[in-house]
Amino acid sequence: MAQRKTGDGRTVVDGPATMTPSEAFVETLVANGVTDIFGIMGSAFMDAMDIFAPAGIRLVPVVHEQGAAHMADGYARVSGRHGVVIGQNGPGISNCVTAIAAAYWAHSPVVIVTPEAGTMGMGLGGFQEANQLPMFQEFTKYQAHVNNPRRMAELTGRAFDRAMSEIGPTQLNIPRDFFYGEIEAEIPDPQRLDRGPGGDQSLNEAAELLASAEFPVIISGGGVVMADGVEECKALAERLGAPVVNSYLHNDSFPASHPQWCGPLGYQGSKAAMKLISQADVVVALGSRLGPFGTLPQHGMDYWPKNAKIIQIDADHKMLGLVKKITVGICGDAKAAAAALTQRLEGRTLACDATREQRAATTKAEKDAWEAELTAWTHETDPFSLDMIAEQEQEEGGWLHPRQVLRELEKAMPPRVMVSTDIGNINSVANSYLRFEEPRSFLAPMSFGNCGYALPTVIGAKAAAPDRPAIAYAGDGAWGMSMGEIMTAVRHDIPVTAVVFHNRQWGAEKKNQVDFYNRRFVAGELDNESFAGIARAMGADGVVVDKLEDVGPALRKAVDAQMNDGRTTVVEVMCTRELGDPFRRDALSKPVRFLPKYQDYV
């Protein structure tokens, strides 16, 4: 039987051959470079699972399938390759929906393999039966259903190809009885698109706009990271002398040490970035869909420039002009488009050349002012936060201001770190303090905003890049949804570090109750046992930090234990109940009551 070598040195059947559908499925995984799959074992795919090991595939068993899909997301985002998740038909698959939705909005090439109830039992209400394709219809780029065992290799290969070409999750749905039998199959070679820069006309129009721009600003988005286009973005920015701002939750899309880096837009972003983009006459949105949550007013500033000409570059043509009115839309790869624009500007005299030094000075002044403000911003100053600070000063124990903690964590970050953040108040404030030097370093649940994201995602990231430090941030509410995956990290030697902000509340929602409901707190308080103690019970190290001077050393020690001793550590930081700005001031309205018994509830 003929065989061919894969890129990672494994072998795969070459040409048509007799095999079982399980063998066709596994051989196609090998052809696509799959070495790690996250999930929980199940009888529905056990025949294929039985031959994972000789194929060079590791199944990483998790605590909960949502965690598995988050791990696949983190793995994909850090490696640039597929992340793969699998589970038992029915409940194992339905547990993955939330995490696949998060991967969808992160544009992660995750393949979810969904073994399904057998074909002879479908529609009879059998054990663990579910119609699994509609569950993921909204959150996948492509859905393959194996309708005949002889199509196993074909459809498996297509699911993997489409995840990369469509830049997002795909689903491979397989009736459990279709893993068995004898078929003739040929394992397809992976198909990878060679993406171009966009059309000549739109690129020429964009170049002309940039040539006449006096204050151009570049938004470096997630597409820059996915295209490995940071160097090309830098070259374009340096030719223009343009400030570069990160799109929301893509703080790793431009190096923070670069003098033209200005920080992120969006919720709890950089005032420097916002003030500078507000002055722009031309904005280049490079690899960004300009999502609505990432361009909302913040810090009291409605900063999006009203009269600027917008050049938007995205690999998905459906995103062009969807959220913001644009002047030129370029459907192309962010890396290739940036290089094409830089080439078109070579040797030309640009309008912005004359003001390069002045704009550089303006950029530096805004950045310096923002850094000074951040350093001085030791705690929140709204009335509720001041009340909470005063109240906790009367309590026993050390309670730390979240902003001071985040600044100390920032200072202690190791080189090449990967950080994942959960959703919530303190985690959102962290957006101001997270800076990176290389792409594929920052992982967040994006606009799906689900809790329980940070820990499993960073475990997947660590599995993809074991040589890089991996740190998760979570508040105590979100932590409760995912902390069981500490057992996954410990059991399977995937060491990570988690920082848990223990402030005993659902902070983001509680902020709405402060602002709109006169501090009537319903279901917002969390009285917790020690998370460090729970971590130790799960086999990890646990550290409680209640002094500001211990924050940095605790993180450094935990990262050292991760990198040198293979130890997972939970750093539990005791924080005050002060709260940062709400997610959106326009998200709620002041309550109105008409019935007499509710009239006091306004």
pLDDT tens profile 421-474: 999 899 999 999 999 999 999 999 998 999 999 999 999 999 999 999 999 999
Instruction: For the chain, give the percent of residues with pLDDT over 70.
Output: 100
DSSP for 160-189, please give it.
Answer: HHHHHHTTS-EEEEEEGGGGSS-EEE-PPP
Q: Which residues face 313 on adjacent strands?
A: 286, 330
Convert the pLDDT of each residue in 222-260 to its tens digit.
999 999 999 999 999 999 999 999 999 999 999 999 999
* Residue 539 pLDDT greater than 90, yes or no: yes
Residue 110: count other Cβ atoms within 10 Å of its Cβ.
Answer: 33
**pLDDT at res. 391:** 86
Convert the pLDDT of each residue in 77-130 to its tens digit.
999 999 999 999 999 999 999 999 999 999 999 999 999 999 999 899 989 999
Q: What value does the mean pLDDT take over residues 40-64?
A: 98
**pLDDT at res. 509:** 87
Side by side, the strands of the sheet bearing 470-475 are: 442-443, 418-421, 470-475, 497-502, 569-574, 541-545
* Residue 221 pLDDT greater than 80, yes or no: yes
* Residue 46 pLDDT greater than 90, yes or no: yes
Q: What value does the mean pLDDT take over residues 500-512?
A: 90
Cβ atoms of 559 and 383 within 8 Å: the answer is: no
Element (H, E) at 541: strand 541-545
Instruction: For the chain, give the percent of residues with pLDDT over 90.
Output: 88
**pLDDT at res. 523:** 83
User: Helix, strand or coil for residue 447?
Assistant: helix
Cβ atoms of 379 and 399 within 8 Å: the answer is: no
**pLDDT at res. 382:** 92
The total number of residues written for the chain in this structure: 602
* Residue 587 pLDDT greater than 90, yes or no: no
* Residue 410 pLDDT greater than 90, yes or no: yes
**pLDDT at res. 468:** 98
pLDDT band at 41 (very low <50, low <70, confident <90, very high): very high
CA 329, 290, 135 angle in degrees (round to 5)? Answer: 105
Token duo for residue 593: 């009551």
The CA distance from 370 to 424, in Å, is 23
Convert the pLDDT of each residue in 349-400 to its tens digit.
999 999 999 999 999 999 999 999 999 999 999 999 998 899 888 877 789 9
Q: What's the mean per-residue pLDDT of the chain?
A: 96
Q: Say whether pTM exceeds 0.85.
A: yes
Give the residue among 441, 243, 229 at the shortest CA–CA distance from 314: 229
**pLDDT at res. 32:** 98
Cβ atoms of 99 and 70 within 8 Å: the answer is: yes
**pLDDT at res. 36:** 98
**Residue 377, burial from CB neighbour count under 10 angstroms (0-12, 13-18, 19+):** middle
* Residue 3 pLDDT greater than 80, yes or no: yes
Q: What value does the mean pLDDT take over residues 283-289?
A: 97
3-state per-residue secondary structure call for 331-367? ECCHHHHHHHHHHHHCCCCCHHHHHHHHHHHHHHHHH
pLDDT band at 416 (very low <50, low <70, confident <90, very high): very high
pLDDT band at 325 (very low <50, low <70, confident <90, very high): very high
The CA distance from 68 to 329, in Å, is 37
**pLDDT at res. 398:** 84
**pLDDT at res. 392:** 85
**pLDDT at res. 467:** 98
**pLDDT at res. 273:** 98
**pLDDT at res. 552:** 98
Query: How does DSSP classify residue 86?
Result: E
